[in-house]
């Protein structure tokens, strides 16, 4: 099995772990003011990290990707960065920061070919706007970065395949 295939399988299994955690934690989804969402998100990330470590026996979490360890990503799995960005639907720059982190990781000689965001329902539509679609296209064309948004809902998971939008 080649590394990208292994990465894809691990990311897919990681998504299943996150989806199960969300199903186990239904109160996570109510809309919270951003200031109130910090503690639930921190707790969610801690539990996700624990479950992922139990599954893989490898800690992919909180990896430094640039310089003096000051720039970290939520998860770095093979050639894929996974960012837990549950509020991508809000215009708070989290989407753009995730892309910038991935590009900076590439500049620091990390082999990053894909960026996956885990987000709450509504993120897909928000990231389907012309400015964000342009940013996705630029990141792919100039940096070879495939960007994927996995939107988790209480009943289903949707994936935004950015290559379909340009076809």
pLDDT of 21 = 86
* DSSP 3-state of 149: strand
CA-derived radius of gyration, the chain: 15
For residues 124 and 89, is the Cβ–Cβ distance under 8 A? Answer: no
pLDDT of 155 = 43
Residue 69 region by backbone torsions, left for phi larger than 0, else alpha for psi between -120 and 50, else beta? left
Provide DSSP, 59-120. --EEEEEETTTTEEEEEEETTEEEEE-TTTTS-SSHHHHHHHHHHHHHHTT----EEEEEEE
Burial of 15-50, coded b for 16+ CB within 10 Å and e otherwise, reads: bebbbebbeeeeebeeeeeeeebeebbeebbeebbe
Express each pLDDT in 117-167 by its tens digit: 988 877 888 888 899 999 999 999 999 999 999 987 654 333 434 444 444
pLDDT of 27 = 60
Q: pTM value?
A: 0.81
pLDDT of 65 = 83
Express each pLDDT in 55-103 by its tens digit: 999 999 988 887 776 788 999 999 999 998 876 766 668 899 899 999 9
Express each pLDDT in 7-58 by its tens digit: 789 999 999 998 888 877 766 555 444 555 556 777 888 899 999 999 999 9
């Amino acid at each position: 099995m080649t590394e990208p295939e292994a990465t894809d399988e691990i990311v897919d299994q990681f998504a299943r772990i996150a989806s199960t955690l969300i199903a186990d934690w239904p109160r996570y989804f109510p809309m919270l003011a951003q200031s109130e969402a910090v503690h639930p998100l921190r707790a969610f990330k801690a539990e996700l990290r624990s479950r992922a470590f139990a599954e893989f026996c490898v800690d992919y979490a909180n990896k430094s990707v640039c310089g003096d360890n000051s720039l970290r990503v939520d998860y770095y799995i093979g050639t894929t960065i996974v960012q837990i960005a549950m509020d991508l639907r809000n215009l708070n720059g989290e989407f753009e920061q995730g892309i910038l982190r991935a590009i900076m990781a590439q500049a620091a000689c990390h082999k990053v070919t894909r960026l996956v965001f885990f987000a709450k329902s509504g993120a897909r539509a928000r990231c389907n706007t012309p400015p964000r679609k342009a940013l996705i296209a630029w990141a792919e064309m100039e940096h070879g970065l495939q960007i994927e948004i996995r939107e988790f809902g209480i009943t289903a998971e949707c994936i935004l395949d950015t290559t379909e939008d340009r076809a």
